């Protein structure tokens, strides 16, 4: 029975660590969705996320055109100085052919970065930090998976970054070049049962003729320690481009530092219709040092101490009971001897 409690405690501790800490025992990737988590990767963790994708776009109303090609999403993330702080660089490079259907069909081969951004994210509010009531219940699996009203309060992070666009970029509005700021608010709710909800509100290329506003809503569910599925909606609004994208996919945890993923993106309009298929991977170099573990105060160490302490107390209690019983037996024996006299 003691062994079962021990294993159960470790399992619950790992789950709660994954949900409620900056650093996690296994890789915590933003992929395969496009939203950004409110939490950082953890101090001294360098993480790479990359995803090649197949691109297909088709506009049916005039002017009719078709775009086909490939691209790659990529990012590098690093936790610096504080658990709440993350530095990152991310971008999307695309290479495609745009065919314009008219009296004479024309093909235009294009390639450039759709975006390239350097920025920093900081967690300003963490509702799970130092929450005594969120400690795992060692005696009830259902209690640990039940709904908690406090989970409706999200973690909140802010992001500030700088875009860089080259001159005559075919994927941006005319005249867009150089540097422009980007800001984002990211929220994250972690619900019991492996459900996570992330929301991003983004203002991009501020002060330019392509000042985009977009939102991303992502719902993720982990139904086993290795498998995760997700659904996502992304809305984009600007004078240059507007769309509502739907995205579905999943990820597989190959090892604690390596994840594989896939996703499909599409929309419901024809100006143009969009179909992207992505295969990706995430890998981290983990140099994180946990102060609690370094001081011997990990959850496992704490449990072992409690078990040893409990065992010692029981042993001491049994010894005390035996000593008391022995003293009472000696006392009764002396009374019997005095009575015989």
Once rounded to an integer, what is the mean pLDDT over residues 173-195?
94
Query: Residue 7's pLDDT is what?
Result: 39
pLDDT at position 193: 87
pLDDT digit string, tens, across residues 115-169: 999 999 999 999 877 655 555 555 555 556 566 667 789 999 999 999 999 999 9
Q: Which residue has the tokens 């009296």?
A: 103
Select from 152, 155, 250 the least CA-distant residue to 192. 152
Work out the pLDDT band at 77, boundaries 50, 70, 90.
very high
Tokens 């999200």: give the residue.
154
Q: What does the domain layout of the chain look like in residue ranges? A: 20-286, 300-337
pLDDT of 317 = 66
Lowest mean pLDDT among 43-47, 96-100, 161-165, 299-303: 299-303
**200, pLDDT greater than 60:** yes
Rounded Cα gap, residues 127 and 145, in angstroms: 18
pTM of the prediction?
0.76
CB-based contact 43:77 (threshold 8 Å): no
pLDDT at 143: 58
Please compute Rg for the chain using Cα positions. Answer: 29
Using DSSP's 3-state secondary structure scheme, residue 6 falls into: helix
pLDDT tier at 4 (50, 70, 90 boundaries)? very low
Q: What pLDDT does 289 receive?
A: 83
Compute the half-sphere exposure of residue 338: CA atoms within 13 Å on the CB side of its CA.
6
Confidence at residue 10, expressed as pLDDT on a 0 to 100 scale = 37
Give mean pLDDT, residues 197-222. Answer: 96
3-state SS, one letter per residue, for 29-84: CCCCCCCCCCCCCCECEEEEEEEEEEEEEEECCCCCEEEEEEEEEEEEEEECCCCC
Q: What is the rounded average pLDDT of the residues 66-86?
A: 95
Tell me: the pLDDT tens digits for 21-47?
468 889 999 999 999 999 999 999 999
Judged against a pLDDT cut of 90, whether residue 204 lies above it is answered with: yes
Q: Which of 183-197, 279-293, 315-329 has the lowest mean pLDDT?
A: 315-329
CATH architecture for segment(s) 20-286: Beta Barrel (2.40)
Q: Is the pLDDT of residue 303 over 60?
A: no
pLDDT score of 104: 84
Answer positive or negative: Cα dihedral of 126, 128, 17, 156.
negative
- Greater confidence (209 vs 327) lies with 209
């Amino acid at each position: 029975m003691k062994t079962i409690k021990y294993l159960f405690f470790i399992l619950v501790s790992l789950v709660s660590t994954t949900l409620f800490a900056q650093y996690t025992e296994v890789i915590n990737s933003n992929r395969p969705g496009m939203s950004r988590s409110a939490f950082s990767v953890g101090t001294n963790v360098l993480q790479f996320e990359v995803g090649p994708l197949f691109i297909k776009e088709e506009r049916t109303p005039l002017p009719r055109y078709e775009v086909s090609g490939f691209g790659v999403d990529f990012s590098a993330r690093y936790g610096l100085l504080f658990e709440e702080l993350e530095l990152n660089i991310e971008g999307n490079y695309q290479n495609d052919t745009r065919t314009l259907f008219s009296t004479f069909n024309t093909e235009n081969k294009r390639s450039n970065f759709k975006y390239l951004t350097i920025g920093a994210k900081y967690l300003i509010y963490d509702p799970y930090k130092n929450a005594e009531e969120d400690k795992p219940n060692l005696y009830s699996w259902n209690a640990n998976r039940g709904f908690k009203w406090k989970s409706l309060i999200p973690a909140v992070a802010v992001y500030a970054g700088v875009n860089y666009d080259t001159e005559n970029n075919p994927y941006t509005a005319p005249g867009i070049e150089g540097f422009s700021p980007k800001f984002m608010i990211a929220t994250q709710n972690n619900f019991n049962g492996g459900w996570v909800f992330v929301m991003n509100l983004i203002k991009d290329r501020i002060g330019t003729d392509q000042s985009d506003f977009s939102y991303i809503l992502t719902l993720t569910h982990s139904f086993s320690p290795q498998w995760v599925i997700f659904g996502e909606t992304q809305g984009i609004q600007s004078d240059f481009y507007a769309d509502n994208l739907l995205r579905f996919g999943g990820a597989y945890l190959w090892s604690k530092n390596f994840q594989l993923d896939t996703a499909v993106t599409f929309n419901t309009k024809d100006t143009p219709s969009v179909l992207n298929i992505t295969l990706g991977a995430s890998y981290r170099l983990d140099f994180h040092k946990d102060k609690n573990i370094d001081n011997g105060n990990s959850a496992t160490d704490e449990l072992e101490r409690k078990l040893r302490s409990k065992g010692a107390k029981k042993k001491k209690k049994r010894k005390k009971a035996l000593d008391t019983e022995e003293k009472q037996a000696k006392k009764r024996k002396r009374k019997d001897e005095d009575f015989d006299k």
